Amino acid sequence: MPHRKKHSALLGICLLLLAVMCFATLDTTSKRVTTVVPLMMALWGRYFFQAVLTTAVVFPIKGLDVFKTEHPRRQITRGVLLVSVTGLAFSSLKFMPVGEFTAIVMTVPLLVTLLAARMLGEHVSARRMVLVCGGFIGTLIIVRPGTQVFGWPLLIPLALVIVNAAFQLLTSKLARTEDAMTTQFYTTWIGTLLTSIPLFWFWSPITDTQVLLELILMGVAGGVGHFLLILAFERSPAGTLMPYMYAQIGFAMLGDWLVFQHVPDQLSMLGIGLITLSGVAGGLLTVYETRQKTQD
């Protein structure tokens, strides 16, 4: 039995690493696509192709049961929040390198820690508060308020962090009662519907085959990434997986270098390192606190 659990945990970690690789691919491709097509078209492509892929996978398994939900309003709200997160992400990527952007977004788990304490009444230890502060100091080092590096576009990823934290909290609530495939199905089609409405004003014919393939890649990367994430959390506890989430920063920096030949400067690397260290330490602290509770 212990060997089987160890094997399952290792498989979960591998699935998670593949998932964050997909998310880094999505972000890198999005940054390129939004330079040649309107933002709303990029958003629509990301959701439409993901929705088609999700339906092709989920419908044969769930059938009409995929529509069954105890919280339709929460499902709609989750879809709206994720569209907002994606819109803010695409807007951020027009102004920021992928690596630095990803590092700032990875402070979301730290912000969720504070919100959980405030809104859900969960206890937050002093050590965890130190890690939260460390993550936000890393963010300040990257954006550098008061210098020429800082500008209004850098407020976009900070807004993204707040909206994404709300999305994560709602996802956590839904996960207690809703099937993951049902939630994924609703979210992608709500996103497709919301992003289809503005196409009347923003549609632009795509004549470049490479751009069309990149739009499809965005949807596939997002869909596959989310399914791999679900599979990972089915096989390993969240506390075990969280430290490995920060591998997405490394994949994002690699994509940024391969596609845009960008390498973060020394101060940005310091901020990225501080965020990564705080996040990984937070994940390890979760594992330690869980074991302590089990022993008690």
Tens of pLDDT, residues 169-179:
787 677 777 88
CA–CA separation, 271 vs 142, rounded Å?
A: 5
266-291 average pLDDT score: 75
221-268 pLDDT, tens digit per residue, is 988 888 888 778 777 766 667 777 778 888 888 888 888 888 777 877
147-161 average pLDDT score: 68
Nearest to 64 by CA among 227, 185, 222, 194: 185
Give the per-residue pLDDT at 245: 78
DSSP letter string, 124-143: --HHHHHHHHHHHHHHHHHH
Give the percent of the chain with pLDDT over 90.
Answer: 4
